Amino acid sequence: MSNKECISMILAGGQGTRLAALTTKIAKPAIPFGGTCRLIDFTLSNCYNSGIDTIGVLTSKDPFEMNRQIGSGMGENIYDTCCDVHVLPPYIYKNGDDSYSGTANAIYQNIKFIEQFNPKYVLILSGDHVYKMDYNLLLEFHKEKGADVTISVIEVPWADASRFGIMATLPDGTITEFAEKPVKPKSNLASMGVYIFTWERLKYYLECDEEIPNSCHDFGKDIIPTMLAQGENVFAYHFNDYWKDVGTVEGFHAAHMDLLLSPPAFVIQEETWPVYSTLTSYLPQLTATLTPSNKTLINKECSILGQIEDVVIFPGTYIDRQAIVKNSVVMPGASIGPGAYVEQAIIGPCAVVEKDCIVRGGMNCEGSIAIVGEKVVVSTQTASV
């Protein structure tokens, strides 16, 4: 048995129903993002850059597929060489179901995996958020406070607060109230889905929770409220940099548009905190560049013959002559035919928009995003949300 001060567990099995057609074939964390990587790459790179070298990846979908995605491209050289990354198989219940019954249950079912490292602290992460974070700062805060659990928090717009776990805190960071997705939130201080637990206390509460028949076995709905009620030391760590929940079509699109701002709201590739890509299962040598003239993030492995503006374009895409693409995301291997018009849309991997077709968001609802799923062919003259 090894003795690790801290290991991380990444919850990467989300079905991503709010991302509609993008997640019919792959788990949300494996979705390509920003022209150069996948969503899970941000969390994996944060771990690597923070020096956390023991990582468990929990998925309720095909573990072989997630293993292939993580173990390809730069990930094969970085994570396999410098990190101990384990893609853990789903737990199989007696009824044959292979989906965890909640986020806490996912960790509970992998207690034996965690205990082989004898950690003092366990970092629980999501695999579908866009951000860069030094987890060492979170760990130091947790130790300084003598916390049983520390939740990384960020202020979100009031209009979005009901989508998150919302809390009230004292000036020293002590959490006094926690409500998971409240209908009428009392604050806009939201959980980022980043938790660090003292393992001894977490294990105790996981085992207690598993014995409660009507529990949702969820961190936000069950574990955190119970720890608060029992008087445990529950603290909030304020994060003041860029963080985006891309669990909805609108959030996914908005995060891509943030890359195009001048200056960009978020920069994926920086020397001081690089994001290592596992996207090369689509195409190799990803080197995206920003073209200031039309605010477009475009990859060199593309063929662009049409007009583009405010677009993030992934490798292997083809945009034909007289096609117009605006305010959109065009994902790996997608093809847009001659004379097609695409605006305020997400075109999924290997999808096809045929000649003279129109794909435009906001046609039925102002502010909405049109979405074309992976390998879908749009052949009608007009496609809306």
67: CATH: 3.90.550.10
Question: Which residue's entry shows tokens 């293993």?
Answer: 67
Better-scored residue on pLDDT, 294 or 102:
102
Residue 77 binned pLDDT confidence (cut-offs 50, 70, 90): very low
As a whole number of angstroms, the distance between CA 298 and CA 348 comes to: 16
Q: What are phi and psi of 189, to 5 degrees?
A: -90, 110
End-to-end CA distance of the chain: 53
3-state SS class at 313: strand
Q: What is the mean pLDDT of the chain?
A: 84
- Ranking 29-38, 214-223, 364-373 by mean pLDDT, the lowest is 364-373
pLDDT of residue 70: 59
- Residues 20 and 141 both lie in one domain: yes
On whether both 81 and 216 belong to a single domain, the answer is: yes
Q: Which of 253, 274, 294 is the last residue of a domain?
A: 253
Q: Is the pLDDT of residue 277 over 70?
A: yes
Give yes or no for a cis peptide into 292 (omega within 30° of 0).
Answer: no
Q: Residue 246's closest CA among 192, 316, 187?
A: 192
Bridge partners of 319, per DSSP, are 304, 336
pLDDT of residue 286 exceeding 70: no
pLDDT tier, 89 (very low <50, low <70, confident <90, very high otherwise): confident
- Phi-psi label, residue 323: left if phi above 0, alpha if psi -120 to 50, beta otherwise: beta
Alpha-carbon distance 170 to 190, whole Å?
A: 15
Structural domain span for residue 79: 6-253
Residue 218 is encoded by which pair of tokens? 């969820």
pLDDT of 91: 62
Question: To which residue do tokens 């963080």 refer?
Answer: 243
**What residues contact 48, with CB distance under 8 A and at least 6 apart?**
78, 79, 82, 83, 276
In a domain, 261, yes or no: no
299: confidence class by pLDDT, cuts 50, 70, 90? low
Q: Is the pLDDT of residue 193 over 70?
A: yes
* pLDDT at residue 58 tops 80: yes
- pLDDT at 78 (0 to 100): 54
Same domain, 18 and 65: yes
The reply to whether 247 and 286 lie within a common domain is no
Please check whether residues 249 and 286 belong to one and the same domain: no
Q: Is the pLDDT of residue 217 over 60?
A: yes
The answer on 167 and 42 residing in a single domain is: yes
In a domain, 128, yes or no: yes
pTM, two decimals, is: 0.88
Q: What is the DSSP string of 8-21?
A: EEEE-----GGGGG
pLDDT for the residue 298: 62
Whether residue 369 contacts residue 345, with contact meaning beta carbons closer than 8 Å, is answered with yes
Is 113 part of any domain?
yes
pLDDT at 74: 39
Please state which of the ranges 15-19, 189-193, 230-234 shows the lowest mean pLDDT: 15-19
194 token code pair: 């980043």
Residue 154 pLDDT? 97
Domain count, the chain: 2
- Given this model, what pLDDT does residue 84 score? 82
